[in-house]
Homo-oligomer: A and B are copies of this chain.
Amino acid sequence: MNMNVMDRIKEVENDIGNLSSAQKILLATDGSVTTILDVLKGHINVETLVQEFREADDAQAQDLGINKGDTINYRTVVMSHKPEEPLIHAISLTPVDKLTNNFKEDLLKADIPIGRILRKYNIESRREVTHIGSEEPDEELRSIFHTDSTMLTRVYNIIYKDEILIQIKETFPYSLFRE
């Protein structure tokens, strides 16, 4: 079920201060984030930090609608304009048993943003935002973004043929996308 995106955005503003138009849209949109970053910043690159197969634990299995122990692809990436300009950190969980072949190959291949893969294969899907919030950065995020800024974050599912194709958690500093 979609939460009320407008209400959550207002709660975040109450907690940490006004959000810019771009920040609100990045948290709320059900469209491709790659496309948005492309037009805001110029062509976006993706650098993969971690990519490995894991067995779903209880919480992941429940989130993804799969069984505990099923294989998931765990991936963390940084989307950047240039290497020195990190924009969004993303963690994705993909249940791999559900994927068809071509598609799977690209999805598991490092460094291709999901939005471009969906477009390449003309995939009809929908996105469902399940969480919007703010949080303090851990060491990894501090070091990636070179900032202590509070982070804005959201979680959403990309749903394809009524199943969760991929769950993505995106995080970026409150100090970015301010203009």
**Which residues of A are in contact with B by a Cβ distance under 8 Å?**
2, 5-6, 9, 20-22, 24-25, 27-32, 35-36, 38-40, 42-43, 118-119, 122-127, 159-162, 177, 179
Copies in the complex: 2
B-side contacts of A32, CB under 8 Å: 29-31
Question: How far, in angstroms, from A36 to B28 measured CA to CA in the complex?
Answer: 7
B-side contacts of A27, CB under 8 Å: 39
The reply to whether B125 and A126 contact each other, CB–CB distance below 8 Å, is: yes
Question: How far, in angstroms, from A2 to B9 measured CA to CA in the complex?
Answer: 31
- Which of B24, B25, B43 sits near A6, CB closer than 8 Å? B43
Task: Considering the complex, give the chain B residue whose CB is closest to the CB of A126.
Answer: B124
Extra inter-chain contacts (17) besides given A21-B21, A30-B119, A118-B126, CB under 8 Å: A5-B35, A6-B42, A9-B39, A21-B177, A21-B179, A22-B25, A25-B25, A25-B29, A28-B36, A29-B35, A30-B31, A31-B127, A122-B126, A124-B126, A124-B162, A125-B125, A125-B126
Chain B nearest Cβ from A40, distance in angstroms: 6
Given contacts A122-B126, A125-B126, A159-B124, whether A28 and B39 have CB atoms under 8 Å apart is yes
The reply to whether B124 and A5 contact each other, CB–CB distance below 8 Å, is: no
